[in-house]
């Protein structure tokens, strides 16, 4: 079968989007919010053809935007030929229904756009279930408006695949409620599994460092750079890309520092302004991993013009999930993309780096060692040969400087955590070469 070029272009072209932003009471970060909406649309593989903005003292209860602005959209739609109108604010069920009827276009809001991105990026079973749960909870009160919105589409032209939201709308309300109940049970089971895994990690005694921050700030790049420097293992690297929400799953890797020993480094899902509460709730078991960290590295894209606002969003999100009291280092990343010169004291909670170009990582490592391994002590332990499990544990979880095999056991010169020092103090080898026999 021979197709002409016009048919090929119609099949392969991206869906076009017209962005609509409403600035309520002169919001201070409105411009940045619209720019972020544009980036979100691009991340969702839309072709952004134009945008429309309106300043209002308060949102229109029925349509969000004013009636005059609705009339402006019609000629703009003829000009830009969009497949979808994307609003920067979350639309109520009635607003979605009214806009769909009035404008006769597929309608999306910021929340549904983020949910769609998560649906496309989810790879693991847990992430897919979490995204499905968030989608169902968002759509349940909006079923009528969503169905009307999708009904305005002229067919499949320009659409490679239907989004998860469109597929879920094939279910009726009763089936959706039943599915939500089923997902709750499965996610509760996964949550219990995560708790068991966390307990096992705690039993190893290895300290944990969590990478947190705004989406696309460079967390995954920093993890891969650390792996490259200290593990020399390509197959352990995590996925990274210059896009919003490149990482949706929590990845944990073991890092062994030459001077201080091993710790666990955890990459986490990025935060964003107005992160949908459905997502926060659905991903709560994943975000709880942050709560169990011994140290947080707050990665900040200092080249972003609105990075201070992004820092506030991360801080607020950490408070929301109960991680506000954990020690934190602010890691200002991407200094290679700015013209300013940054310096940092070695004993500072502000570090300036370029993860991609490996700039400033020496100071970051020193601060991690200071805050994470401050509770570590040098000692000698004489482990009897019959205590093989204890010997394996110590070798696995301490920084071993020397090993000597004696008649009565293995003599280790090491650096270990204060917890392990107290736990195994009966095996301490004192200065007079006498192994202490006191109970821990």
Residue 5 has a pLDDT of: 45
Residue 145 has a pLDDT of: 59
183-198 pLDDT, tens digit each: 989 988 888 887 787 7
Q: What is the 3-state secondary structure (H, E, C) of the chain?
A: CCCCHHHHHHHHCCCEEEEEEEEECCCCCHHHHHHHHHHHHHHCCCEEEEEEEEEECCCECCCECCHHHHHHHHHHHHHHCCCEEEECCCCCHHHHHHHHHHHCCEEEEHHHHHHHHHHHHCCCHHHHHHHHHHHHHHHHHHHHHHHHHHHCCCCCCCCCCCCHHHHHCCCCHHHHHHHHHHHHHHHHHHHHHHHHHHHHHHHHCCCEEEEEEECCCCHHHHHHHHHHHHCCCHHHCCCCCCCCCCCCCCEEEEEEECCCEEEEEEECCCECCCCCHHHHHHCHHHHHHHHCCCEEEEEEECCCCCHHHHHHHHHHHHHHCCCCCCCEEEEEECHHHCCCCCCCCCCCCEEECECCCCECHHHHHHHHHHHHCCCEEEEEEEECCCCHHHHHHHHHHCEEEEEEEECCEEEEEEEEEHHHHHHCHHHEECCCCCECCCCC
In whole angstroms, give the CA distance from residue 167 to residue 364.
46
Residue 190 has a pLDDT of: 82
Residue 245 has a pLDDT of: 65
Q: Share the mean pLDDT of the chain.
A: 80
5-174 CATH choice from 3.40.1360.10, 1.10.150.20, 3.90.480.20, 3.40.50.11060: 3.40.50.11060
Residue 240 has a pLDDT of: 58
Strand partners, 135: none
Write down the CATH number for the domain with range 205-372.
3.40.50.300
Tallying the residues shown for the chain, one arrives at 440
- What's the average pLDDT block by block, 10 residues per block, for the chain (440 residues)? 46 81 85 88 88 87 86 83 89 88 87 87 82 86 66 44 54 82 89 78 75 90 89 64 63 84 85 75 72 90 91 89 87 89 66 91 90 82 92 83 90 83 88 49
Q: Which ranges in the chain are annotated with CATH 3.40.50.300? A: 205-372
């Amino acid at each position: 079968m021979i197709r002409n070029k016009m048919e090929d272009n119609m099949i392969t072209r991206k869906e076009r989007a017209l962005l609509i932003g409403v600035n309520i009471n002169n919001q201070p970060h409105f411009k940045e919010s619209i720019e972020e909406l544009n980036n979100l649309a691009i991340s969702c593989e839309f072709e952004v053809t134009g945008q429309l903005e309106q300043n209002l003292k308060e949102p229109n209860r029925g349509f969000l935007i004013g009636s005059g602005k609705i009339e402006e959209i019609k000629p703009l739609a003829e000009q830009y030929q969009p497949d979808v109108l994307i609003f920067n604010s979350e639309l109520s069920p009635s607003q979605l229904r009214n806009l769909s009827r009035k404008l006769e276009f597929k309608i999306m809001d910021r929340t549904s756009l983020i949910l769609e991105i998560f649906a496309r990026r989810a790879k693991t079973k847990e992430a897919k279930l979490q995204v499905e749960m968030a989608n169902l909870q968002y759509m349940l009160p909006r079923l009528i408006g969503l169905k009307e919105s999708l009904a305005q589409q002229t067919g499949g032209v320009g659409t490679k695949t239907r989004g998860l939201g469109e597929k879920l709308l094939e279910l009726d309300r009763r089936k959706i409620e039943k599915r939500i109940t089923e997902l709750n049970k499965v996610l509760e089971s996964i949550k219990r599994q995560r708790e068991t895994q966390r307990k096992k990690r705690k039993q190893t005694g290895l300290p944990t460092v969590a990478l947190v921050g705004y989406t696309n700030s460079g967390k995954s790049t920093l993890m891969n750079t650390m792996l490259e420097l200290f593990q020399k293992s390509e197959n352990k690297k995590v996925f990274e890309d210059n896009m919003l929400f490149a990482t949706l799953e929590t990845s944990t890797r073991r890092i062994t520092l030459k001077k201080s020993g091993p710790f666990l480094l955890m990459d986490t899902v990025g935060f964003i302004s107005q992160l949908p509460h459905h997502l926060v709730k659905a991903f709560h078991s994943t975000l709880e991993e942050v709560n169990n960290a011994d140290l947080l590295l707050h990665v900040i894209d200092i080249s972003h013009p609105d990075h201070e606002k992004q820092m506030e969003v991360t801080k607020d999100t950490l408070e929301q999930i109960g991680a506000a009291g954990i020690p934190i280092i602010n890691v200002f990343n991407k200094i290679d993309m700015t013209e300013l010169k940054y310096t940092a004291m070695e004993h500072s909670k502000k570090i300036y780096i370029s993860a991609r170009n490996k700039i400033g990582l020496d100071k970051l490592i020193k601060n991690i060692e200071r805050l994470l391994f401050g509770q570590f002590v040098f000692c000698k332990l004489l482990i009897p040969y019959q205590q093989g499990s204890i010997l394996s544990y110590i070798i696995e979880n301490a920084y071993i400087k020397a090993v000597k095999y004696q008649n009565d056991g293995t003599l280790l010169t090491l650096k270990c955590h204060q917890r392990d020092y107290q736990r195994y103090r009966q095996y301490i080898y004192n200065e007079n070469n006498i192994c202490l026999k006191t109970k821990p």
